[in-house]
Every structure is written in structure tokens, then in C-alpha cells.
Amino acid sequence: MNPHGETPPYHYGTHYSSAMIVCSYLVRMEPFTQHFLRLQGGHFDLADRMFHSVKEAWNSASRHNMADVKELIPEFFYLPEFLVNSNNFDLGSKQSGVALGDVILPPWAKGDPREFIRMHRAALESDLVSHRLHHWIDLVFGHKQQGPPAVEAANVFHHLFYEGNVDIYNIDDPLKKTATIGFINNFGQIPKQLFKKAHPSKKMSQRSSTILDPNNIIPSQGVTPPEKLFFHNLDNLRPSLQPVKEVKGPVGQILYTEKAILAVEQNKVLMPPTYNKYVAWGFADHSLRIGNYDNDKTVFVCEAVAQECGEIVTCVCPNAKTIVTAGTSTVVTVWQYSARRRKLTVKVCLYGHEEAVTSLAASSAYNLVVSGSRDGVAIVWDIERGMFVRQLCVEGPSQPIAALAIDERTGDIATCAGSWLHVWSINGTLLGSADTRAQQVLCAAFSQTREWDPLHVVVTGNADGVVRVSAP
């Protein structure tokens, strides 16, 4: 503001990122619904102004309303749940009479929020976007943020959005001071300028760029083409000349690392992140033991396990300090292990199952453990807080859950009971089910492709010795 109290000229009176914008996009999800209502004085906005359609939002920002400069929030690239009115909020009706519910998606999403997010993420990660990303950096963090370059780029915002333009401590009028603080808090602020010169473009590979065509999707750069994947062409499988590892009994875990392929027997599980130690159970004295992978020597024994959690049936290690066990007692026990002090203590006992726990899976990325029991019930636990999150169970006759898997990238969960495979989102939505029409599913794993890759699959191993591949 100049000495005469006049507001400097600007292109936009609203900001591209603010609490109001974030809450308006996420209004269908708590706790953002309550935040939105607070910003709106306790009620939803007029239905015609609410986020309702991706097409309408795009047309508003790109054609019809030049004051609409809203930036897409990260949830557009990873969280399909925000597009669904799963809480059945009464968002009102538009003047046309259309009631607001789920967000209307573009035709290429085929009405599927997950497909919309997947394609959106694929577009974001494409060479086409990467090659032009420096232009966005120039506008938001770079030399076109302020000064003459900002004017030339039509990138000037209201002066209150810029850091340092207003000294709130020197505003004497309490009403004006409160209004200014509220304006900055609720309607956004320009980030600190990081670059004074044009940002260079990203150096791209000489390989052909990915073109995103919803009618003809081409896998993004770096993805193994289908003909090279073993489940498309079994002839590409070649056994190694030497055994990867000779173990003393049936294999319980196989782990691929950058340096080697590791394997241990049943009733053993390797401890991350180095995997040079393992946890073992199933002994006559009901002890829990930790041993060295290389020489198979036991370095620690805890004999009080049966008193704490009954007979152990299954075990996982989310990290080097946490061991999770479960079994006949129906209790999921989280242990804290100190290698330096050679001590194993119970951190928390998790109660929720009514029958013996038959399988466990852990995710370090999401701090989750999933437990499955003999009655076909799977429970998701937050092991950081020691809390129940949700229960996963399908309708119909129940069978013991023999295998579980968690996708570390997306949080998707696979539960296997009998010959059936079920895949769930981390938020408990059943994404799909498949009957392998074979013997018992014994193990499952998610492919390690990128989460937006259309070739993403779940691999299961059945009691008939056949490895099967399913698309979620």
C-alpha cells in the first residue's frame, strides 16, 4: 500500500492456494467439512459455487472466470476418497435442480475415482509435464513472482498476499489488524521467492516421450513393456544355475534386496532395514528368538512370550525396533526391541479378534499392521498409536485368512481366504474380489511398479504350486 493509503494495482484479488480453497475441494471429507463450515460461518456455500464437477472447475479456471486461479491440491493425485460424498452430506441443489453428491468426473475416468486419480497422476509424472514444470516454478517461486517479470506474466496478486508487505505489529487499529491477520490466514500467502533467474528446464531422456491418450494409454517411460514381464510370457523365466539359498525346511519368506535375494524358513521373518537378523518362533518352550542371518546363530531369547500372548502363530517386523506377534490368544502384541540392551518389552496389546489370529502384514510407510483370523475377519491397526482403525470382512461363509499383503505405495490391502483374493483400499473400500478356483491361497504380494502404472498386479501362490497374477 502506498503512503496515500491506496492499494497497488494487481491482477488477482484471490490467491491460488488458501485454507478456503483446500477445504472447498475436500469438503466431502472430515475433518475438512468442519473446517469449511467454520470458514463459511456454519453453513455450506451456495450449491452453484461448490466444487461439484471437474469439467466445470476446469472451465471456470481456464475460460469463464479469469479471477479463478485455484491451484490443484495434492489430493488430486493420490486420494480418490475426496471425490466421493461417502458421508452423505446435504450439500444442497444447484439452480438447475441438480443435487450435489459425488464429484462428476470426466468421461475418460469411466465414473471411477481411482481411475481418475491414476490417470491424473500419470499425467503429472509424464515427460510432457516434466518438460514444462520450470514455467510453474518461475511463477510460484521464481523470477516471475514479483517485479516487472510478474507484471509481464500477468502474475500480480493483492499486496496483502506478499510476505513482508504489511507489518501487522505496526497496525494501531485493532479491527484493521484483526481483519488483516484473518485475510492472510484464510486466503493465502505468496511463498518466499527462491530464484531470481529463470529456472532451467528438466533434462529429459532421449527416449520417446509418453503421450497421454485416454483411448490409447501407453505405459510411462521406464515401465517394463508387457512382453518382457514374466506373467505375459512364461518363456522369459530362467532358473538360476546355483541355488539362491539352501534352507533347512519349507521356505517362509523370500526377500529381494539390491544386493541379494534372501530366504528364511517357516516361522522366521527378517528384520529391516538391513535384514541381517531374523525373528523366529514356534519352539517347544514357546520362546521368541532373534538370530543372525549369515551364521544362523541365536543372539537373543525371550522365554516369557507365552505368558504375554499365548502360542505364536504369526509374526511381522515393521522396523528394527518393532516386532508384532499374534496367535491362539486372539491378541495382537506389539513388542519394543532394543538391540543395544538386548531387551524385548510389550509396547501394547491389541484386542479385537474373537478367534485365533492366523496371519499378519505390516506397512512401515503407513505405520499399519493388518491381522487376519480364523473366522475370516481382518483388522487394520495403527501400531504407532496402538489403536484399532477398521475391520475388513466380506459377506458370505467365512474361511480362515491364510495370507495378507500391504502395498507400501498405495496402502492397498490384499486378504486371502480359501481360494479367494480380496483387495481393499487403505480406507476400507473393497476394490475387487477374485476366486482363483484353485487350492488354498498361501501367500500374496503386490507388484512394485509405480502406483499409476496400469500394469499393477497382485501375485498369489496357491497350495497347488501355481503362481497366479490378478489385476486389482
Q: Please check whether residue 296 lies inside any domain of the structure.
A: yes
User: Given pLDDT bands bounded at 50, 70 and 90, which one contains residue 224?
Assistant: very low
Residue 52 lies in a domain: yes
Q: Domain span at residue 439?
A: 226-470
What's the one-letter identity of residue 340? Answer: R
Please list the alpha-helical segments (H only) found in 369-447.
none
Do 279 and 178 reside in the same domain of the chain? no
Q: How confident is the model at residue 115 (pLDDT cuts 50, 70, 90)?
A: very high
* pLDDT (0 to 100) of residue 422: 95
Q: Is 260 within a domain?
A: yes
265 and 144 within one domain: no
Of 161, 187, 213, which residue is a domain's last?
A: 187
Residues 6 or more apart from 322 whose CB is under 8 A from it? 334, 335, 336, 337, 347, 383
Distances (CA, A) of 46 to 27, 70, 82, 86, 291: 13, 18, 19, 20, 64
If asked whether residues 249 and 163 sit together in one domain, one would say no
Domain presence at residue 451? yes
DSSP bridge partners of 373: 357
**Structural domain ending residue among the three candidates 133, 158, 187:** 187
Number of domains in the chain: 2
Say if residue 248 is in the same domain as residue 115: no
- pLDDT at position 227 is 43
Asked if residues 387 and 431 have their Cβ atoms less than 8 Å apart, the reply is no
Task: Classify residue 221: in a domain, yes or no.
Answer: no
- Report residue 471's pLDDT band, with 50, 70 and 90 as the boundaries: confident
Q: How far apart are CA 183 and CA 439, in angstroms?
A: 63
Q: Does residue 253 sit in helix, strand or coil?
A: strand
CB 416 within 8 A of CB 402: yes
- Summarised one tens digit per residue, pLDDT across range 431-463 is 999 998 888 999 999 988 888 887 788 999 989
Q: Are residues 175 and 230 in the same domain?
A: no
- Asked if residue 175 and residue 277 are part of one domain, the reply reads no
DSSP tally for the chain: helices H, then strands E: 9, 21
Say which residues have a Cβ less than 8 Å from residue 85's Cβ, sequence separation at least 6.
Answer: 28, 91, 100, 101, 102
Q: What would the mean pLDDT of 237-266 be, rounded to a whole number? A: 85
Report which of 124, 147, 150, 142 is spatially closest to residue 200, judged by C-alpha positions. 142
Which residues, including other chains, have CB under 8 Å from residue 133's CB and lie 6 or more apart? Answer: 201, 202
pLDDT at 105 over 70: yes
The reply to whether 230 and 153 lie within a common domain is no
Q: Is residue 217 part of a domain?
A: no
11 domain residue, yes or no: no
Tell which wins on pLDDT, 235 or 446.
Answer: 446
Residue 320 sits in a domain whose CATH number is: 2.130.10.10
CATH number, position 116: 1.10.1540.10
- Pairing of β 277-280 and β 268-270: antiparallel
Same domain? For 156 and 254 the reply is no
When mean pLDDT is compared across 201-205, 268-272, 311-315, the lowest value belongs to 201-205
pLDDT at 205 over 70: no
Assign 259 a pLDDT band (cuts: 50, 70, 90): confident
β-partners of residue 368 are: 363, 382
CA distance 339 to 341: 6
Q: Do 379 and 388 meet the contact criterion of CB atoms below 8 Å apart?
A: yes
E strand or H helix that includes residue 414: strand 413-417
Whether residue 245 is predicted with pLDDT greater than 90 in this model: the reply is no
Of 139, 166, 187, which residue constitutes the final position of a domain?
Answer: 187
In whole angstroms, give the CA distance from residue 245 to residue 253. 11
Distances 471 to 362, 421, 427, 455, 460 between C-alpha atoms, Å: 22, 11, 19, 8, 11
Domain shared by 174 and 313, yes or no: no
**Average pLDDT in the chain:** 87
Same domain, 112 and 249: no
User: Do residues 54 and 183 share a domain?
Assistant: yes
Does residue 217 carry a pLDDT above 70? no
Answer whether residue 126 is part of any domain: yes
Q: How far separated are the first and last CA of the chain, in Å rounded?
A: 56
pLDDT at 212: 47
How confident is the model at residue 151, as a pLDDT?
96
Among the listed residues 315, 321, 232, 327, the one whose alpha carbon sits nearest the alpha carbon of residue 268 = 315
**Mean pLDDT over residues 370-376, rounded?**
96
pLDDT at residue 284 in the model:
87
- Say if residue 75 is in the same domain as residue 134: yes
Distance CA 67, CA 62 (A): 10
pLDDT score for 397 = 76
Select the highest-mean-pLDDT range: 162-176, 291-305, 316-330, 437-451: 316-330
**How much is the pTM?**
0.81
Cell of 238: 530362467
Type of residue found at 296: D
